[in-house]
Structures are given as C-alpha cells and as structure tokens.
Structure 1
Amino acid sequence: MEHIYSKWYHPYTPAKKYKKKVAYFSMEFGIDQTFNIYSGGLGFLAGSHMRSGLELKQNMIGIGMLWKYGYYDQARNEDQTLKTEFNVKHFDFLEDTGIEVEIKLHDNPHVKVRAYVLKPEVFGTVPMYFLSTDVDGNDHLSRTITNHLYDQNPVTRVSQSIVLGIAGAKVVEALGGADTYHLNEGHALPAFYYLRDRGVTKAQMVFTTHTPEKAGNEERDARHLNRCGFFGRTLSDEELHREMVNGGMINYTVSALRMARKANGVSKLHAIVANDMWKDYDDICEIIPITNAQNQKFWQDEIIKKSWMKADAVIYKERKTQLKSELFEEVYKQTGKRFDPNVLTIVWARRFAAYKRADLLLRDYNRFKRLISNNTHPVQIIWAGKPYPFDYNAIDVFNHLVHQSKHEPNLAVLIGYEIDLSKRLKCGSDVWLNTPRITREASGTSGMTAAMNGSVNVSTDDGWIPEFKKDEQNCFVLPALDHHSPTWDQDNLDSDNLYHILENKVIPTYYDNPDKWQDIVFKAMDDVIPEFTTQRMADDYYKKLFN
C-alpha cells in the first residue's frame, strides 16, 4: 500500500495566502524533547517555524536529517566536569515513507538515502521528512554519515551537506516538487546546485543566513568538493572557477546568496551586519530582515499567560513561585543544593560559544563575590548550556564555572540543556542574562521565550534586543560600546556595566519595588507578543520571502 505521505500531502487545505508549496531545508530541528536532533538556536527556531506552519495551515514541508546519536548527551565526570556521551536515539514516532533515493558520494555512485516522515499529529508541525543513510545495502562508512549532527570529521561534514541537499531535493521531487526551496543556513547548499541543473530557477530559491561571524560561514576547497560530489555532478574547471571565491574556495554563504532570488537575516541589526559582511562579492542577492521568533503556544506557560491577560499579579506570583520550585528540584537533583523560591534567580543558559561570554559575571571576581554574598539582597545564579563536544575552549569555560560554583550554596551549573530544561529555566528564572559581544549574536531567541514566562531580560544591545528594548520598562540593557575595540576592552567595559546594572537597578527593583518589577514583567509580555512569536514570523516568511 502506498504511504499517504509518499506524495505532497497535508491533512488540511492550505490557507489561500500560504498555498505556495515550500520545502524548508535545515540541518537541525528542535521540535520536542523526545526528538533530540538539534544543537541550539538554529534548531529551536526551525522547530518553532514548523509548529506555526501547521497552526497557520501553510503549504510547507520540512526536510531534515535523522541523527542516529542526536547531537550528544551531557553527563558529568566524577569531579562534576563535563562528560560528552554518544547514545543511540530511538524515534519510533517516525514512519518509513518508502521513499529511497540514491546519490553519488566521493567514489561511491550508489549511496542509498531513506526518508522517514514525522506526521503533523505527532508534535503539531507541518509534515516533515528526515533522511537517513543507515540503510541496508549501504557500506559501513555510508551508513555512518547520519550518525552525528555536525560531525567532527570534515569529509563526513561535506557528505552530510550532500545528503541533506541533494538527497533532500530528490525526496522533494519524489513528493511532487516544490514552488519554493528554502535553505535555513548554508548546510544544504548542494540542493541549489542540483536544482539549478534540473531547471529550477533563481526565482524559486531563497536563503536564510544566521551567522554574523565570517569564520562561522563554512568555506571549503572547491576541487575537493567537486571530487566529493557536492555539485550533483562533476563540474568542468571553467564551471568550477565561476563558483570559486577567496583563492579556490567555495563559501557556502556566498554561493547561496548568489543563487537565491532573495535572502534574509534574522534580526534588523543582523541584516545590516550581513549586508556589510558580503558586500564585496559580486552578484549577491538582497538580504532583508525577518526577525526570528518562537512559538508562543509551545513555550509559554498557560497559567502565566492567564495572569498576564488578566493583569493579575497575585496569580502570576503564585505560579512563578511554583515554577521556581520545580526548577529548583532539578538543581537539587543535580547538585544537592537547595535554592529558595523567594530569592532573585538569574539564569545564563544557551549554547556555550566564546562570544556569548558565559563567564562575564566572574570577570571582576571581588565584585562577583560581593554580589553572591549579599545577605539583604540575595541572588541565586544558574548556568546551563552545551558546548560543541570538540570545542575544548568552550568546555574549559563550562568546567571553570563548575569549579567556581562547587562550594557556593547559591550557584549551580546544570547539564542536559535541551528543550525540557530550557523550558524549566525560562519559567523558573527571574532574570534571563544574555551577554554576547555586540553584533556577534544574530538573533538570540531564548530571551523571547524567557520574556513570555516573566523572566526579565538583562542583555547587551544585540540581536533582537534593539527591536524590543524599552530600557528599565521591559528589560535592562547594557550601554552601547564600540564593537570594533579590542575584545579585552569590550569585556572589561561590559562586565563593569553589568555589575552596575545588577547592583543598582535589577536587584533593588526586585526587592524594594516589587510593583515596578511586576510592571516590567507584564510590559515585556505585551511587547514580545505577538511581535516575537512565530505566528508573525511564519507569516512574514511567506509575505516577504516565499511569495
């Protein structure tokens, strides 16, 4: 019997303004805790997008990868430092579509790729297709390509892009083809090369860039990619030369920007930064802003929502205390420390990357000690997040925080930062601390879902914050500085400003002026909803990018 999802199918009639068939390619999707195939913000954003696609009845499908080991599991060594574990995941809620395509990888012309469907009723998303090379008939090496998200081996990484891009495009063809092909970041770039050869026009290709750091935009040797099968066929020297930049390289972002009709950055500031970053390359398409967002229905606590709609501070306070207690059960379970729901709780939780500065609070250690040992205005601080498993500098920062917090009763570093813990931290914190060096954070959506749950943003003026901020009315923002100055100087100035804001504004407001604090909490919800929800964003993508 033919599978209903072996052709382009939605269990609803798409809404008129969203009737264009869109295939959305992403290396990671953060949809549900039980489906842990994501590493961070890129996945959280894509997952929320798929949920809102269903809510709005959009004619869209997702194309992703079925990572056998997910990203990785955070565990601890005996001294509580970070241990990375790779465990096989089980996704019995996916169904085999029966669609199997073949691609050429390196010297193997017959690598099989199988497509599994995530039906809309499982987690409330548009139909999504996940690709696996762990298929009978493939040799051992081919079967391991879809083992690990962002595999450390560069040749495997290239193979993953070819699977997502070319096998993904072939799966879309098998489903009946799309009107618009959208790449969420450059990982699936081979799709554009393959589709271009198949007569898909520039008018049908669009692209989202997320990375405002040149180094974060993948760039590889053109001849090597040609040998790997990256372009869907072997390009002639002349053809290859046309694709090259920077002395014989293929830059995934530059190629995507050249082939796409239009592209977007993920905040207003990021679009400015991105246009400036790529302006020296010829034939680049326009990069417009469509600010990232998150799915309100999934992320916002129902009782918190009710208290905000009724402007009822009593209900809010009761629920917040309960949510803090639930979070603190996890703190106790992991660290043996008992946190107090009546104490101001600050959370720093996101992917551990150098520019995000997880340890900024510790920069002036004497001031930090004063802050955490103030008995009249006490604070509790929690850090959580996943470093890339082979980024030893980021792991070192994580472990440094573990050691610094070990003997302090009001500090905790948590492992297991995935969707469930992320939700708990946003619901159970009073302050959401966000400290990237400015212009380096493209969007930073975690602060949006924190605000939906009454956690007040204390942030540098980066990503989405410039579009949202009303300083001291809906958040607290560090003063701007010159982002061209040496990072050492930026870090000193930012940490100085951060202590000043915490000592003189945030902490006194929380304890001495609770009514004002409550106003800030509700004002932040007013300003984050609907503007920073994926209902708005998913609509914008159709209006500004797909149509």
Structure 2
Amino acid sequence: MDPALWETVRHDPVRLLGEVGPARLQRLAADRRFLRQLNDTAEDLREYLTADRWYQTLDDAPKAIAYFSPEYGITAALPQYSGGLGILAGDHLKTASDLGVPIIGVGLLYRHGYFSQSLSPDGWQLERYPPIDPNGLPLTLLREPDGAPVRVRIGLPQGHDLHAHVWLARVGRVPQLLLDSDVEENDQAGRDITDRLYGGGGDHRLLQEMLLGIGGVRAIRAYCRITGHPAPEVFHTNEGHAGYLGLERIRELVSEHGLSFDEALEATRAGTVFTTHTPVPAGIDRFPRELVRKYFGGANEEPEVPAERILELGAETYPEGDPAVFNMAVMGMRLAQRVNGVSTLHGQVSREMFGGLWGGFDTAEVPVGSVTNGVHAGTWVAREILELAAREVPSVLHGEGWEGVRRVPGQEIWRIRRLLRARLVEEARRRLRESWKHRGASEAEISWIDDALDPDVLTIGFARRVPSYKRLTLMMHDPERLRALLLDPERPVQIVIAGKAHPADEGGKRLIQDIVRFADAEDVRHRIVFLPDYDMALGQALVQGCDVWLNNPLRPLEACGTSGMKAALNGGLNLSIRDGWWDEWYDGQNGWAIPSADGLAGPDRRDALESAALYELVADHVSVMFYDRDASGLPRRWLEMVKHTIATLGPKVLASRMLRDYVQRYYVPAARSGRAMAADDHAGARSLAVWKQRIVKAWPTVAVEHVESTGEASPHVGTSLPVRVVVDLGGLDPSDVAVEVAYGRVDDTDALIDPSYLELSGGEPVEEGRLRYVGEVPLARSGAFGYSVRVVPRHAMLAGPAEMGLVTLPPAPHGMTNGNLR
C-alpha cells in the first residue's frame, strides 16, 4: 500500500492503515494490478484459515489444546515479550496455525509491555515503559452475545475481587486470549497488576500468575461458550508462571462433578503437559509459603481447593529443598503427568535438578523428557532466501528435499548473503545514530556512523538477554586480542551486539556498560557496535544479516537457545559452546564448537581458556575460510559449509518439527489419558486415586527378601542368567506391582550404566505372604556386567514406573552380581 510508510511505522499494520492518506487509497482503488494482488492475497488467506492441514490428517488427536505462557513474541507490533521464552511461545502459536493444530493461546496483556532500552552518555542501561493502547493494536475485545465485554473474576483476600477483560488476537487460525486487569471495576492496585511484563515482585508477581492461571482457564471457558470452540482436552503450561491453572481445573472438577481433591488431581494431571525452560534455579519463581497461604487461605480459601493441599503441591520436599518456599516449577510438575525440557541436554539437566521429586529412581529414569525447540521460518527467514528456495528447491517449502540445497548455485547464495549483510549494516547505522543522539551527541559528533561497519566484512552477531551466565563480555576477556581481530588488515571482523539486562540486574547492566565503553573507542567503533532496544525487528535483521552467530554461555546453563537456528536457516554459521540445541546437532561441518572447560577449572580460569579458544577459532578458522576466495571472488569452502548447514539443520530446527513432536509424543497421549480418566463420570480418576492411596499406605512394608541367580560360573555371551526373587508385597496384590531386573554394563563403582529392564514373571506364593518371581536375563554383550532387582507400582493409567516416585530395592549387598562375560 505504501512501502515507505510501512518502514516508518516499523511494520505495524494497524498504524499503517490509520496513516495511509485518502489520495493514496483512491489511487490504489483504481489500480487494477494492485486489486488483483489484493484479491489473490485475500483468497490465499481464506484458504490458509479454512483448509485442512497436517493436523486434520491425524486420528484420535485432541479436539483442542490450551497453551499458557506469561509472554508471547508474535510480532514487534505487539510488544508482549522479553526474550527467548516469549519468542518460542509466539513461534509455537504461529506454527500451530500453519499445521492446523487447534491451540488456544492464553496470556496477559501488559499495558506497558517489557521495557524500552536506551543508553546514558556513559553507556548505562536506561529503561522506560511506553504505554500501550489496546485499541491501537491488532486486538479485539471479547464480548458476550449481548455486546457486553467478557469479565473474568478471581477472588482475593479481604473480600476483594480482581476483574479482567479479555482481548482476542488472531494468530492466523489460532485464537490468543490476553487478560487485562486495567478495568474500572478494580482499584488502582488491581488495575496495575497487568501493568508490565515481569514487573514488581512478591504480591504483584503472584497476582499476575494467579490471573494468568486461574483467570486464563475462566477466559477459555467463556471463549468456548461464546464461540462454540471445542473445549481443550490438553493444557500445556509453558514454564511455571501459569501453574495455577491446574488448581482452577481441580476446583471445576470438585464443584461441578463431585470429585474429591485427589480424584480431581488425577484427572487434571492426565491431560496436562508442563515444559520447563530453565536450567538455572534462580530462573524459577519461588514465593514465601506464607504469601501463598495469604492469597489461597483464610476467608479467600476455596472449599474445593484447601490451602494446605495447594502448599503441598509447591513444597520443596526433596533433599536441599527450602521448606519455607513455594516453588512454581515444582507445582507445575506435580500437576502434570508429562514434563519436558527444551533440548536433549536440557532434559538431562532437568532430570538432575528435579530428580528429588521422584526419589529412589536413578536420574536417567526421572520422568522428564525433552522436545528440542524450533523456529518459525516464516517469521525469521529473509524473503530473499524464501524466494531463492521457491525457485531452486521448491520442495523445501513443504518440508522435504533438503539435500537439494547442495545444488543451489553458490553465486546466488553469496549474492543474497551480501544483500542481507548490507541491509543489516544500514539498519545498524540507523539504530546507532538514534542511540548516540539519545545519549546527547551532536550531528557533528556522529558523522563517523556513515561509515560504521562494512557490507563486505565478516560479520559476527551476538544478541541475548544479559544474565551473567550468557557471558556477554567473554569476547572482551583479552581486549587487545579482540582489537587485533577487528582491525586485521587482511581479514577484518566486525561484531554487532544487542541485549537487555533485567531492570533489577545491576551486574547485567555493568556488562552492557563494559561492552559499550569498548565499542565507543574511536579506533574500533566502526567495527564493533552495541545496538540498544533489542526486539523482534532487530532480531530479524541480525539473524538474517550476520555471517556467524556467536553463543558462549556457561555450559550447561543454556536450556536451548534458538537464535543460532534462525541464523542457520538464513545461511549463517554457528560459533558456539556446545550447549542447548548445538550440543545435539553440531556435526563438525555445520559451524564451529568452542571447547568448553566446564568442570575443569574455576570461573576465571574457565573464562580465560574458553575466550582463548574463541579468539583462535575466529582468527585461524572462521575468518580464513570466509576470506579464502576463488578466481570469481567466491568463498567456495564457506559456501559448501553454508549449504551443508542448511541441508542438515533445516529440517531439524523448524518449529514444525518441534510442534509435531509435541503433538505425537505429548498432546495425543495426554488426551488419551484425560479421556480415560473422564469416562463414565470420571470413573478412571476415582479408581486411580483410591488405588494410589492404597499403594502409598502399603509401600513401606514392601520388601525384596531374597535374590539369587543360577547358571554357569563363567557365563558366555549369547546365554542367559536365571534369576529368582522372593518378595513380600505387604498385602498388595501382585497386579499392583512389577518386579523387575535392571541389568547391563557396570562402571568401576559397580553402578549400572544405561540399564535395560526385564519384568519377572510368576508371583507364586512361597510362605507367609511372600511371592516368588523368576526370569531369564539375556547376556548380549561382553565385558563387565551386573544386575539388580526392584519392585515398582504398576497401573494401566500411570505414564511410567517412576510416576509415583516409589521403588523398593533389595538391601545391600543382595541383588547385585558383577562379572565379565566372555
């Protein structure tokens, strides 16, 4: 409609429509070419919103899924995000729309969003919270059939109620409900609850999370009632902030279906998925128990959801837990039958972090899985890249034929890469100019910005939130080595940096100030820049325009990190510590791995070692390959690496792969479990609750009395080892348990390594309530071998043997035999 105005309004469609002049509209109305394009676009949109897609080909899939997140990065024009969690949530919704997954997104509408960042003259981060008018955003108010705004209400202490309106955004096919407490029914304190993302602390944060979880469920019920949308069968909690949604679902089941708290808990857990995003304990919301009791107890206590039961759900009852706090992630896990991290490595870290909730089981068996994050190509991949794919490898646009990327002409890739690099340079200069003016510089003092950065120089990008573990300033560990890289006369390097520190993080702000002061130096400021106010628009320019994406966190503290995925899809290469997604998908040819010294040195020594490795990689490998050109001026080895990266990582890093994983491995099983619990007036939930109570009561008396094995004194590979076990079930029925042998390789301490499990058969009475179980353990490989025996609860409605955290082992030294198989 108006390309120049589109850039001026920063790609905000609502502002564009409001500012296009009448004369321009009249010309467009008479432009037959424009009208044809408009009609074609409208028809494409209609088909996109209505036609069956991948999800509609599935059998037995849930009719609807509710997805709760405290923040969403849908678009820069809807600033309701602060970092990776929100960007991931936005990509989740957009990909659900692309695949036809019937998700309903739920969040809060923050009237000031997250802060806008600028710099003081001496490089200190400054924050401001510009007000947001929902009427000027792509939102509509959810209304009752009579036109009245939908009002969600939750009870507060002292007889007060908190009220909220519900705004509706359309993320393609996906409805997104955003709750807003800035309504006239609330006092000023109530109106301020949704004032800003992650604002305040204590009561303020707790109230935000109550509104998100409890109010969010009530908003969904209103939306489904008004629109006829199917009610969700699965509830997905994106991090612990929305954990209170489980309490509201329990209350519904108790008050509306007559279930007990324990029965409602089982029904709720069956249909709930919980995703944890942090490997850092400090990243988890933990409230004083007395604060939670204040809001859920006393006169405000719901009889269906006793305060003491709520406090039990968030209690840190494991070793080294704090009895005085209420842990939102712990509650989220206790309210969900299925839990996952966001990369393979993060799943392992999470099993170690939260293993105490399933005490008695080895870390490998803690029921926390993983789905590695992905990114929404339509949001993050440059149009030129998509157009090149459509011309040269059209099957890629449908998720197939990625190997065809290797046949794309190198000169075409290089032409587009230079175009995108030049675009980033122009955007960086524009933002740099704005920043220096805000810092008080005159026009004469910023004339150098016209030549800052170079569209033909190797460009490294680093953009992150700025907690200490992401190590914004690792590149500055040896300033002179960094300066030498930037100013190398033959192979220069330029670095574009962005990131926000949390307003309360003084240490993070100092890191930003350190990097800004270095970048301000006259000799290097044309080669290294810090761009304030990191948002989605800047993120898109960075991942599209950078040749190399740098990531150097303290391993293993990066849960996933998706910026490098976005860079890879745009033809960038990764230079990263092997953490998060890079740990599982680095193959030696799709970028460079910075050696990690985790566990080998103290913090200062570790930084020194890893920064030295970073400098060496850039100087001796990255820049050498980038500037190694053939007779036609093309970096052939670099381009082969780019093609290999896209061909191998492309199908892995897409959010469509991620969401298919969630659907097939989490949503469909959760829906089946939920239906089994709800059938016949929740007979499944009622019976499972009674069964669990009986198991928990009897379990202390379950014992492994005797273990023996017979067979060859020196067993051979290919034979089997007979095992006989005598167990006292403490009055439980044999059908209540599984008696298993864990077997496999052992290490130097006789601990089993990645054991296999064999359920023993029998259960024949021996004497005085004892039962004999027998089995044949296969001996399939040579080397050190061992086995152990255990008893675990068994029920068809359990998601796995570790769900209840109950296991009985034989008293040492019984039940373990070690030897070398020949």
For the superposition of Structure 1 and Structure 2, which TM-score range results when normalised by the shorter chain?
Answer: over 0.9
1:96 aligns with 2:141: yes
**Aligned partners of 2:173 and 2:70: how far apart in 1?**
17
Q: Which moved more, 1:208-217 or 1:96-105?
A: 96-105
Amino acid at match of 2:367: E
Selected match of 1:488 from 600, 604, 607? 604
Amino acid at match of 2:235: Y
1:543 aligns with 2:597: no
Contact 2:111 2:132 (C-alpha < 8 Å) held by counterparts: yes
In 2 relative to 1, CA 380–232 (structure 1 residues): closer, same or farther, beyond 3 Å? farther
**Aligned partners of 2:528 and 2:596: how far apart in 1?**
29
In 2 relative to 1, CA 328–508 (structure 1 residues): closer, same or farther, beyond 3 Å? same
Amino acid at match of 1:515: R
Counterpart in the other structure of 1:193: 247
In 2 relative to 1, CA 515–305 (structure 1 residues): closer, same or farther, beyond 3 Å? farther
Selected match of 1:107 from 132, 141, 158? 158
In 2 relative to 1, CA 279–148 (structure 1 residues): closer, same or farther, beyond 3 Å? same
Counterpart in the other structure of 2:654: 533
Counterpart in the other structure of 1:48: 91
Selected match of 1:317 from 414, 417, 426? 414
Q: How does 1:443-522 map to 2 (within 5 A)?
A: 443-471=560-588, 473-483=589-599, 485-512=601-628, 514-522=635-643
**Aligned partners of 2:566 and 2:599: how far apart in 1?**
27
Contact 1:104 1:229 (C-alpha < 8 Å) held by counterparts: no
Q: Which moved more, 1:340-349 or 1:248-257?
A: 248-257
Q: Deviations over 1:20-56 (max 9, x none)?
A: 3100000001011101110010011110110110111
**Aligned partners of 2:115 and 2:158: how far apart in 1?**
30
1:497 alignment partner, SS class: helix
Counterpart in the other structure of 1:356: 470
1:531 alignment partner, SS class: helix
Q: How does 1:193-272 map to 2 (within 5 A)?
A: 193-199=247-253, 200-229=267-296, 233=302, 236=306, 238-239=308-309, 242-243=312-313, 244-245=315-316, 246-272=322-348
Counterpart in the other structure of 1:382: 496
Counterpart in the other structure of 1:332: 429
Q: How many residues align?
A: 534
**Aligned partners of 1:112 and 1:183: how far apart in 2?**
22
**Aligned partners of 2:600 and 2:153: how far apart in 1?**
48
Counterpart in the other structure of 1:32: 75
Counterpart in the other structure of 2:513: 399
Contact 1:439 1:483 (C-alpha < 8 Å) held by counterparts: no
Counterpart in the other structure of 1:4: none
Counterpart in the other structure of 2:168: 117
1:435 aligns with 2:435: no
Amino acid at match of 1:233: E
Contact 2:62 2:234 (C-alpha < 8 Å) held by counterparts: no
In 2 relative to 1, CA 232–22 (structure 1 residues): closer, same or farther, beyond 3 Å? farther
2:274 alignment partner, SS class: strand
- 1:136 positional shift: 1.7
Amino acid at match of 1:60: I
1:367 aligns with 2:481: yes
- 1:369 positional shift: 2.0
Counterpart in the other structure of 1:299: 380
1:144 alignment partner, SS class: helix
Q: Which moved more, 1:103-112 or 1:128-137?
A: 103-112
In 2 relative to 1, CA 12–182 (structure 1 residues): closer, same or farther, beyond 3 Å? farther
- 1:306 positional shift: 4.5
Contact 1:460 1:477 (C-alpha < 8 Å) held by counterparts: yes
Amino acid at match of 1:94: L
2:357 alignment partner, SS class: coil
In 2 relative to 1, CA 149–237 (structure 1 residues): closer, same or farther, beyond 3 Å? closer
Counterpart in the other structure of 2:697: none
1:286 alignment partner, SS class: coil
- 1:524 positional shift: 1.2
In 2 relative to 1, CA 317–238 (structure 1 residues): closer, same or farther, beyond 3 Å? closer
1:212 alignment partner, SS class: coil
Counterpart in the other structure of 1:57: 100
Contact 1:530 1:536 (C-alpha < 8 Å) held by counterparts: yes
2:194 alignment partner, SS class: coil
Q: Deviations over 1:41-75 (max 9, x none)?
A: 00111101101101111111100110110101112
**Aligned partners of 1:532 and 1:190: how far apart in 2?**
31
Amino acid at match of 1:239: R
Amino acid at match of 1:365: P
Q: Deviations over 1:396-444 (max 9, x none)?
A: 1111111111122211000121111100011111111001111100000
Q: Which moved more, 1:224-233 or 1:422-431?
A: 224-233
Counterpart in the other structure of 1:175: 223
1:346 alignment partner, SS class: strand
**Aligned partners of 1:240 and 1:541: how far apart in 2?**
28
Under a length normalisation based on structure 1, what TM-score does the superposition of the two structures give?
0.93
1:518 alignment partner, SS class: helix
Amino acid at match of 1:527: T
Larger Rg, first or second structure (1 or 2) = 2
1:530 alignment partner, SS class: helix
**Aligned partners of 2:548 and 2:51: how far apart in 1?**
41
Amino acid at match of 1:140: Q
2:560 alignment partner, SS class: coil
Q: Which moved more, 1:53-62 or 1:225-234?
A: 225-234
Selected match of 1:184 from 238, 263, 282? 238
> Percent same amino acid at aligned positions?
31
Amino acid at match of 1:475: G
In 2 relative to 1, CA 125–488 (structure 1 residues): closer, same or farther, beyond 3 Å? farther
Contact 1:307 1:313 (C-alpha < 8 Å) held by counterparts: no
**Aligned partners of 2:507 and 2:129: how far apart in 1?**
20
- 1:307 positional shift: 4.1
Contact 1:349 1:384 (C-alpha < 8 Å) held by counterparts: yes
Amino acid at match of 1:512: D
The answer for unaligned runs of 5 or more in structure 2 is: 1-48, 144-149, 225-230, 254-266, 317-321, 394-406, 434-448, 630-634, 669-822
Selected match of 1:166 from 203, 214, 219? 214
Q: Which has the higher contact order (CA 8 A, sep 6+)?
A: 1
Amino acid at match of 1:322: L
1:130 aligns with 2:167: no
Q: Deviations over 1:340-384 (max 9, x none)?
A: 111101111111111010110110122122212211111111110
**Aligned partners of 1:480 and 1:339: how far apart in 2?**
30
1:20 aligns with 2:63: yes
- 1:523 positional shift: 1.3
Contact 1:29 1:44 (C-alpha < 8 Å) held by counterparts: yes
In 2 relative to 1, CA 242–137 (structure 1 residues): closer, same or farther, beyond 3 Å? closer
1:86 aligns with 2:140: no
**Aligned partners of 2:173 and 2:606: how far apart in 1?**
41
1:67 aligns with 2:143: no
1:329 alignment partner, SS class: helix
In 2 relative to 1, CA 160–485 (structure 1 residues): closer, same or farther, beyond 3 Å? farther
The answer for unaligned runs of 5 or more in structure 1 is: 1-9
Contact 1:161 1:187 (C-alpha < 8 Å) held by counterparts: yes
In 2 relative to 1, CA 40–108 (structure 1 residues): closer, same or farther, beyond 3 Å? farther
- 1:489 positional shift: 2.5
**Aligned partners of 1:22 and 1:47: how far apart in 2?**
15
Amino acid at match of 1:23: A
2:356 alignment partner, SS class: coil
**Aligned partners of 1:175 and 1:96: how far apart in 2?**
11
In 2 relative to 1, CA 302–109 (structure 1 residues): closer, same or farther, beyond 3 Å? same
